[in-house]
Amino acid sequence: MLEHKDTNSPTMKEDKARGGSRQLLRRLRDIMATGEGAQERLDRLVKIIAQEMHADVCSLYVRRAGDVLELFATEGLKSESVHQTRLRIGEGIVGDIAAYARPFALADAQSHPHFAYRPETGEESFHSLMGVPILRGGRVMGVLVVQNREESEYSDETVELMETVGMVVAEVIAAGGVVRRREQAPVDGLALKPLRIDGVQLSSGLAMGRAVLHRPLVPIGKMVAEDEAHEQRRLDYALAAMHTKLDHMVKTVDDAGGGDHVDILKTYRMIAEDRGWIQRIRDAIGTGLTAEGAVVRVQNETRARMAKVQDNYLRERLLDLEDLAFRLLQHLQESNANGNGQSGPTQADLPKDMIVIARSMGPAELLDYDRERLRGVVLEEGSSTAHVAIVARALDIPIVGRVSRILSRIEPHDRIIVDGNNAVCFVRPGEEFRRVFATSMELHEQRLAAYARDRDLPSVTCDGANITLNMNAGLLIDMPHLHETGACGVGLYRTEVPFMVRSEYPDVKVQADLYARVYEQAEGKPVVFRTLDIGGDKVLPYFQDQAEENPAMGWRAIRVALDRPAMLRQQLRAMIHAANGQPLAIMFPMISDVQELLNAKKALNKELDRAKDRGLSLPSDLSVGIMFEVPSLAFQMDAMLPHVDFISIGSNDLLQFFFASDRGNPRLDKRYEALSPAFLSLIRLIADKCREKGVSLSVCGEIAGDPLHAMALIGVGIRQLSMSPRSIGPVRSMVRTLDAKALEAFLAVNLDSPAHSLRSLLIAFAKDHKIFL
């Protein structure tokens, strides 16, 4: 008796889809193997796609110079519309597919608000439409569309098949003869003229050199497989080779002295074995693609997901997967060529002074480049907590991130200047500008040398006011700067950063070992440990993502800690263990209510009692403080000050809450600033209250590290500043040329000014009094 098979079961549907995919890909492979001209091949491609997908229409639009999509081939629309019908990127449904590099599947396309009717095509009789972007190397090369007369739903399997077909068509377009090579080049239609492009600072420093486009497109060769089992074996070999290479890289860095970037590389290595990612590649091979084609297919899916993800941590994971996909492609290609499975950039052809240009980079890829020749990096994406940025800071490599469309604006070996200090890069600068910048680099190096020579000089104003200069840190790789800069101590150790680069929550022992190493490297200088300041834009990988309309004012920092008391207690326990009888200073972030502080101190006292009961060494001196970031505390000072030993003003958050101004909103950028009379008056109010009660006060936000802002802070009563290591030298030089009493008197008569900012007045004061800014 024959067993009845359910042809509608998920397994049967999947098998049927795979069979159809393989058949279509085989027919397309045969077309690609012919010696026909490009137009003839495109005409045959659309005809076969329409047949195999049971579509009344299949149309192919190719991207031309000026961001125009031109109809290059069609089966089903009027033939006279070929090379006549054009749409702008973003115009109509087809233009929308190209603009956002995402597929569309519509049962009734004509009712869609983006539908753009072109009468010359005769498409008014077709209702349903499904289109996909034709992608190659992350660049949209065109759009592939099928249409049907009847309204019909397109399944996810059909959309995925079309995306795979689009990859094959991309290779036909790239092979040449479809459009001029210059139109395929990643240039946005502008003449190759000098450009100045702003970004964000990921790693400070100055660099000048020749552009090297990171991750040049790996030549795929064959997209359609002849033997699925053979492709699966090739994937196994390439994965093994990639894992071996990464293991060697981790060991090399670890043997060289380690640091937090070892944890980053280890996490990256773990992601390389992600079973879901590898299985998706295997499934793509099962549809009829080669191993390379399967990797590219999954890479395209990752990019599509990335476009929808706002969470910083999830974007980091997706960037790591895309990075690994490229490395895997290299292993697949090079194992084909020589069987050795080695990967990495070919150094021989790279310029002596390299500026690497990339959309994104993984931490391991930075280490692939010759450190003796790598001068700087420019990224289209990136954040200060990105793994590549952390590793770059450890290696003292300047990086400017979020540089809009840099890959589409630059050619290989173009001259480029990276100003990591001011977050700007210059593309194809003229000879005179290069000469001036080279002089600036020399002066910058001389200044750095002077700051290093002066690191042991006291930070005292001309009239004898002692200004304590501390540094901010967040990783062990920051700690050597404590002694290199002559900082008095660590005014802010951001404990959340090591948590963010790990794939799982560190237990008490791991945390205690980390804090103990901080103590060890501080060599007796004071360190202020801030408890976890997570939430908002700082998400831990092992936390469930909490969607919030306004995360900056949502569930973050002390609010998370008090709602997760076990997490807070473990961190406090680890700090007590690490102190081991040494002084301990703990700071709680984003306190907005006195009771929050009291609850946090209650948790700390319980841990102290626990340590005492177990016979552990208690801190020789315990200081408890808060981050002053919420304006409401200004009205609770009398109630709060008896319960704290010190306060540190977090100017970044305080400024945005004070003016109700989102600091991440470009429309509000520089609209409100710390040199306004109102904000400086608030700082003076806090300083007066703390001085009256004998409570230590410092500022640890970004403004503390800018000489002009630091000068203004001293003028309203601040005597302790904590900043990034690179800022200590410039601020020390300013302090040693400043008369604090004269500045205080000057500001006292100007804080009532109705002016938007006191910036120009303060610059004039510095110039008149020969203050070194």
In tens, the pLDDT along 11-33 reads 444 455 555 677 888 888 777 77
Looking at 184, 203, 219, the residue that finishes a domain is 184
Q: Are residues 499 and 391 in the same domain?
A: no
Q: Are residues 413 and 333 in the same domain?
A: yes
pLDDT score at 182: 55
User: What's the whole-number mean pLDDT along residues 256-277?
Assistant: 67
Looking at 138, 163, 184, the residue that finishes a domain is 184
Residue 769, pLDDT > 90, answer yes
Q: Using 50, 70 and 90 to split pLDDT, how confident is the model at 619? A: very high
User: Which CATH number covers residue 227?
Assistant: 3.50.30.10
Say if residues 167 and 155 touch (Cβ distance below 8 Å).
no
Catalogue the active-site residues: 387, 700
pLDDT score at 343: 41
Looking at 158, 184, 210, the residue that finishes a domain is 184
Q: Are residues 657 and 628 in the same domain?
A: yes
Instruction: Indicate yes or no: pTM above 0.75.
Output: no
Proportion of the chain above pLDDT 90, given as a percent: 38
Which tens digits make up the pLDDT trace of 350-364?
888 999 998 877 766
What single DSSP character describes residue 409? S
User: What's the whole-number mean pLDDT along residues 534-541?
Assistant: 61
- Cβ atoms within 10 Å, residue 638: 11
pLDDT score at 535: 66
Name the E strands within 239-281.
Answer: none
Task: Kindly state whether residue 331 falls inside one of the protein's structural domains.
Answer: yes
* SS3 call for 118: coil
Q: What Å distances lie between residue 42 and 36, 68, 74, 133, 167, CA to CA?
A: 10, 18, 9, 16, 14
Distance separating alpha carbons of residues 663 and 667, to the nearest angstrom: 9
Task: Kindly state whether residue 373 falls inside one of the protein's structural domains.
Answer: yes
Which tens digits make up the pLDDT trace of 149-184?
988 888 888 888 898 888 888 888 877 667 765 555
Q: Are residues 300 and 335 in the same domain?
A: yes
User: What's the whole-number mean pLDDT along residues 454-462?
Assistant: 92
pLDDT score at 339: 44
Q: Are residues 85 and 211 in the same domain?
A: no
User: Which CATH number covers residue 155?
Assistant: 3.30.450.40
Helix (H) or strand (E) holding 710: helix 707-715
Q: Using 50, 70 and 90 to split pLDDT, how confident is the model at 506? A: confident
Q: Using 50, 70 and 90 to split pLDDT, how confident is the model at 246? A: confident
Instruction: List 460's β-bridge partners, or say none.
Output: 466
Q: What are phi and psi of 580, to 5 degrees?
A: 50, 50
* SS3 call for 134: strand
- Structural domain including 306 reads 195-440
Which tens digits make up the pLDDT trace of 476-497?
778 888 998 999 999 999 888 7
Helix (H) or strand (E) holding 490: strand 490-494
Q: Are residues 172 and 233 in the same domain?
A: no
* Mean per-residue pLDDT over the chain, rounded: 83
Lowest model confidence (mean pLDDT) among 49-63, 545-559, 651-665 = 545-559
Distance separating alpha carbons of residues 382 and 199, to the nearest angstrom: 10
Task: Kindly state whether residue 664 falls inside one of the protein's structural domains.
Answer: yes
Here the tokens at position 404 are 């809009």
Strand 399-401: give its sheet, edge to edge: 195-198, 424-427, 415-419, 206-213, 354-358, 374-379, 399-401, 200-203
pLDDT score at 666: 58
Distance separating alpha carbons of residues 703 and 713, to the nearest angstrom: 9
pLDDT score at 187: 42
Q: What are phi and psi of 646, to 5 degrees?
A: -155, 160
Task: Kindly state whether residue 718 falls inside one of the protein's structural domains.
Answer: yes
Q: Are residues 430 and 469 in the same domain?
A: no
- Tokens 């043997």: give the residue: 255
Lowest model confidence (mean pLDDT) among 273-287, 390-404, 656-670 = 656-670
User: How far does Cα 368 stand from its chain's mean position?
Assistant: 19
End-to-end CA distance of the chain: 92
Q: For residue 141, give the nearest of 120, 162, 171, 112 by alpha carbon.
A: 171
Lowest model confidence (mean pLDDT) among 314-323, 327-336, 579-588, 737-746 = 314-323
pLDDT score at 203: 85
User: What's the whole-number mean pLDDT along residues 325-347?
Assistant: 63
Say if residues 172 and 42 touch (Cβ distance below 8 Å).
yes
Residue 3, pLDDT > 50, answer no
Here the tokens at position 726 are 């690179």
Q: For residue 645, give the nearest of 583, 701, 705 by alpha carbon.
A: 583
User: Which CATH number covers residue 735?
Assistant: 3.20.20.60
Say if residues 403 and 382 touch (Cβ distance below 8 Å).
no
Task: Kindly state whether residue 473 falls inside one of the protein's structural domains.
Answer: yes
Q: Are residues 471 and 523 in the same domain?
A: yes
What single DSSP character describes residue 537? T
Say if residues 677 and 764 touch (Cβ distance below 8 Å).
no
Residue 564, pLDDT > 80, answer yes
| DSSP string for 549-570 | SSGGGSS-THHHHHHSHHHHHH
Q: Using 50, 70 and 90 to split pLDDT, how confident is the model at 261? A: low
User: What's the whole-number mean pLDDT along residues 405-428?
Assistant: 84
Which tens digits make up the pLDDT trace of 513-529?
999 999 999 999 999 99
Residue 511, pLDDT > 50, answer yes
User: What's the whole-number mean pLDDT along residues 599-620?
Assistant: 95
Lowest model confidence (mean pLDDT) among 58-62, 367-371, 455-459, 743-747 = 367-371
pLDDT score at 70: 93
Which tens digits make up the pLDDT trace of 67-125?
789 999 999 999 999 999 999 888 889 988 887 778 889 988 888 887 887 888 888 88
Task: Kindly state whether residue 218 falls inside one of the protein's structural domains.
Answer: yes
Residues near 261 by beta carbon (within 8 Å), at least 6 away in sequence:
253, 363, 387, 390, 391, 394, 477
Task: Kindly state whether residue 479 falls inside one of the protein's structural domains.
Answer: yes
Here the tokens at position 285 are 């091979």
Q: Are residues 604 and 742 in the same domain?
A: yes
Q: Identity (one letter) of the amino acid at 576?
A: I
Q: Identity (one letter) of the amino acid at 424?
A: V
pLDDT score at 734: 95
Q: Are residues 430 and 479 in the same domain?
A: no
User: How far does Cα 658 stand from its chain's mean position?
Assistant: 28
Q: Are residues 385 and 478 in the same domain?
A: no
Total domains, the chain? 3
- Cβ atoms within 10 Å, residue 247: 12
Which tens digits make up the pLDDT trace of 692-706?
999 999 999 789 999
User: What's the whole-number mean pLDDT along residues 384-392?
Assistant: 72
Residue 537, pLDDT > 90, answer no
Exposure b/e, 671-702, CB count within 10 A at least 16 = b: ebbbbbbebbebbbebbebbeeeebbbbbbbb
Q: What are phi and psi of 727, to 5 degrees?
A: -90, -15
User: What's the whole-number mean pLDDT along residues 740-762?
Assistant: 95
Which tens digits make up the pLDDT trace of 704-734?
999 999 999 999 999 999 998 888 999 999 9
Distance separating alpha carbons of residues 582 and 584, to the nearest angstrom: 6
Q: Using 50, 70 and 90 to split pLDDT, how confident is the model at 186? A: very low
Distance separating alpha carbons of residues 257 and 199, to the nearest angstrom: 32
Q: Are residues 179 and 199 in the same domain?
A: no
Task: Kindly state whether residue 445 falls inside one of the protein's structural domains.
Answer: no
Q: For residue 335, give the nearest of 290, 281, 288 by alpha carbon.
A: 290
pLDDT score at 333: 77
Instruction: List 697's β-bridge partners, or say none.
Output: 647
